[in-house]
Amino acid sequence: MKAIRGSIVPLVTPFRDGALDLDALGRLIEWQIASGSHGISVTGTTGEPGSLSLEERKRVIAAAKEAVGGRVPFVPGTGSTHHVETLELTRYAESLDVDAVLLITPYYSRPSQEGLFRHFDAIARSTGLPVILYNIPGRTAVNLEVDTVARLREANPNIIGVKESNKDFEHINRLLHKMGCDFLVYSGIELLCFPILAIGGAGYISATGNLLPKEVASLYDLVAAGRWVEARELHYHLLPLNDAVFIEINPVPVKTVLGWMGKCSPEVRLPLAPLSPANEAKLKEIVKQYGLVEE
């Protein structure tokens, strides 16, 4: 298995006139790899999976797998609130020989810890792929507790890590203490990417990587090289942009900036809507500071 560490960029799903724009997706992947990103993920939160049909998710995963071409680890999101759909997507990803899958905690239904265990246990047992769990309580209204992660790992050696989009830094500390640093913990909170690396995390899956892939990857590279002061300075340099990409719900601001940069259309699907004019003006002023748009 390839080492899956560093900046695993959760790509947007480009649309044009309501349809998938897989050509733009391919161009984004080329730019990401050329910029030094350590891995690619699609159809996670930033990829608007809730707006994609099952067949569209498969098309995005297949197109991304081909575009990546084995040059860096490829980790598609195959999770859903629907258990059988998650199984189907995971098996499809396995048929493409991806490097791992990312499985979100089911949303809306608010399952118990036992329900979460049974859901993830069944999926992990159904596949030979490495599995990365995805805990994002702000979106799903349920937290994947440390003891449940430990129980899942004990039952399924192919569960190799977890993406923690959890602002509770105490939770992350207790998770790493319980699981050990051989268990791959990735930050899904942009402002916690550097702190999680400092306590033994494996990397991060950061929406900001869509816009500044070189700089976001460099944060990991600096830490890996023991250049902590430079890494800390880069962490604070990125902070205003990390805040800005959440000026409205992700991925609307990220897609807006990518549109300004000419990388893909800013189009999102309902129920998401374009950025408000007031927030668009604020966002443009911030991204100008990073040279992403012209003065």
Output the CA–CA distances (angstroms, integers) from residue 30 to 12, 21, 71, 171, 266, in the order listed: 14, 15, 10, 36, 19
Phi, psi (rounded to 5 degrees) for 108:
70, -45
Distance, CA of 106 to CA of 111 (rounded, Å): 7
157 burial (CB, 10 Å; 0-12 / 13-18 / 19+) is exposed
Distance, CA of 112 to CA of 155 (rounded, Å): 18
Phi, psi (rounded to 5 degrees) for 160:
-100, -15
| CA angle 197–201–203, rounded 5-degree value | 75
Give the active site residue among 92, 134, 186, 204: 134
Distance, CA of 261 to CA of 292 (rounded, Å): 7
Active site (annotated) includes residue 214: no
Give the active site residue among 65, 163, 255, 263: 163
Active site (annotated) includes residue 107: no
Output the CA–CA distances (angstroms, integers) from residue 19 to 24, 47, 124, 273, in the order listed: 12, 14, 32, 16
Helix axes 213-224, 228-244, angle to 10 degrees: 150
Distance, CA of 110 to CA of 295 (rounded, Å): 46
The span from the first CA to the last CA of the chain, in angstroms, equals 45
Phi, psi (rounded to 5 degrees) for 120:
-70, -35
- Annotated active-site positions, please? 134, 163
